[in-house]
Amino acid sequence: IHIMWYVPCIMHLHNRVVEKIIVMLLKKGYSKRGSREEKELYICTIEHTMNSGVLGSQYNEVHWKVPLNEAKTDITGTISLTDMQSKKVITFIHLLLADIFDDTVPDWESQLEEWTSVIDLFSKLNKLICARVEFTDDMIEEFQSVADAFFLKWVSINGLAGVTNYIHMLGSGHIKEFL
């Protein structure tokens, strides 16, 4: 068996982690809205931002929908993004963060700061892992240091519910072994 069959794909790592970030953000925002009307307004706001600001534009809207369960009472964990879409989401994540942590959310400033920090760590990780150079030992150590900081911050915000296989691989050092 050839070892290259087991090397994790960094594109899929990026896509799956971004998908998880979006799901956890959407769930966090949804849980902070109390009434049915507040939840419906939240869903409409998120869909508008995604369709006309993140994945689409004012002149070229897309038709992305928040993934709700059948009863429309909760957000499911099912989102699938292409590589280009996941890159756009991270580029324009500040638009979503503004909708999710608005002034109707108690303690919104500290939550916004926490999420911004963890997303910045993930962006730094992604930049490091996508470097098209042979990694030195120092670069590998820097990568794992950022991965550890991301993992600890991510778990402190989301608990085990936020951990996917790829997030586990980052935090446990498995990705580091392939650099």
Percent helix, strand and coil across the chain, each rounded to 5?
70, 0, 30
Q: What is the pLDDT of residue 1?
A: 60
Give me the amino acid identity at 148. D
How many Å separate Cα 18 from the centre of its chain?
3
The pLDDT tens digits for 128-169 are 999 889 999 999 999 999 999 999 999 999 999 999 999 999
pLDDT in tens, 87-98: 999 999 999 999
pTM above 0.75, yes or no: yes
Least Cα distance to 177 among 1, 3, 2 occurs for 3
| Predicted local confidence at residue 7, as pLDDT | 76
Q: Are 51 and 61 in contact (CB under 8 A)?
A: yes
Sign of CA dihedral 113, 116, 122, 128: negative
Contact 54, 95 (CB under 8 A): yes
**Residue type at position 120:** D
Q: Which two tokens stand for residue 58?
A: 């004012």
Q: Averaged over 33-58, what is the pLDDT?
A: 95
For the chain, give me the number of helices (H) and strands (E)? 7, 0
Q: Give the integer Cα–Cα distance in Å for 14 and 158.
A: 18
Report CA torsion sign: 87, 158, 77, 169: positive
Q: Which two tokens stand for residue 40?
A: 């419906």
